[in-house]
Amino acid sequence: MSRKQIVILDKETLGSDLDISALRQFGDVIEFKITTANETFDNIKNANIVITNKVVITAEMMEKSPKLELICIAATGMNNVDLDAAQKLNIPVKNVAGYSTNSVVQHTFSLLFYLMEHMDYYDHSVRSGLWSMSGLFTNVGHPFHEIAGKKWGIIGMGSIGKEVAKVATAFGAHVGYYSTSGESRSSSYLQQPLDVLLSTSDIISIHAPLNDKTYALINENNLPFLKDKAVLLNLGRGGIINETDLAYELERREIYAGLDVLEQEPIEAGNPLMKIKHQERLLITPHIAWASIEARENLLKGIVENIETYLKGI
């Protein structure tokens, strides 16, 4: 079997620390740190196997790349490739599912703890010298609650949602969920209508896909249902929360939001969330929940397995 040309279109999104040497057993690997829309065709036109995280591959690009025989998506979501065109052209498209569950669950709690325990306030009190000047051994200027005994509402009870539910339960939370598909996803937890979940939960975390049912699911009509001091976390997809409506609600009253995903990534300078006065109520991370070292190693392993399986079958 001849050696393949393997092209990685956006290696920088996988991290410079990820050792991709396992891919070289299959052929010659060409890496591009990033690939713009204008560069994509030139970068794939001679490739046998293409690995993409977020770079979009269109029908026209595939049609004009006669050597292309396999597309590996370095993610779970597959919306960046024209799947109908790939099927017509007999080009398999393989993703990797489940590689980042532990990482996303961990980051969910990282966002929560930062906001719920007011870490920004307490860190500032130490670094600014305010604690030293107080003469007290402690500082309880910004009281915080425990998870135990609180109601945790989960939007999207898939594999990640279920793992979050397990950990939340271990902390002593009472878990309920809203199914974005309308199907019952778990007999272990109480399924609730969205308005009931929002109005009764102290903590709400989103772990749902973005689709017609979930776009702008959280908006000006239901954000007012949130309890005062509630914490809203989005680790699903940007676009599920209307960001303009959320910015307004964060200014209006004391609720908290932790976001790892946004509708436009990276965040635009004009995003209203960048301009709110009460920044202590908001924590945004740059879509990193999926990206622990272990998760990215699992992702690469899944890509290698997908290539191996394909090559064995031809």
Catalytic residues: 237, 265, 287
pLDDT at 16: 95
Proportion of the chain in helix, strand, coil states, percent, rounded to 5:
35, 15, 45
Q: What is the Cα 70 distance to its own chain's centre?
A: 25
CB proximity list for 5: less than 8 A, separation 6 or greater: 27, 28, 30, 46, 47, 48, 49, 67
Dihedral in degrees, nearest 10, Cα atoms 121, 122, 126, 129? 40
pLDDT reported for residue 183: 82
d(CA 266, CA 231): 23
Pairing outcome for strands 151-155 and 93-94: unpaired
Q: Which DSSP string do the residues of 203-220 spell out, in sequence order? A: EEEE----STTTTT-BST
Structure tokens at 184: 């019952």
What's the pLDDT tens digit per position in 38-61? Answer: 999 999 999 999 999 999 999 999
Chain segment 279-304, per-residue pLDDT in tens:
999 999 999 999 999 999 999 999 99
Write down the pLDDT at residue 286. 98
The topology under which CATH files domain 4-99+293-313 is: Rossmann fold (3.40.50)
For position 1, what pLDDT does the model report?
Answer: 59
- Which residue, 82, 15, 94, is CA-closest to 50? 94
Which CATH homologous superfamily contains domain 101-284?
A: NAD(P)-binding Rossmann-like Domain (3.40.50.720)
Domain boundaries, the chain: 4-99+293-313, 101-284
Q: How far apart are the first and last CA of the chain?
A: 10
Confidence at residue 196, expressed as pLDDT on a 0 to 100 scale? 98
| Same fold: 4-99+293-313 with 101-284 | yes
- Extract the residue ranges of the chain whose pLDDT is less than 70: 1, 185
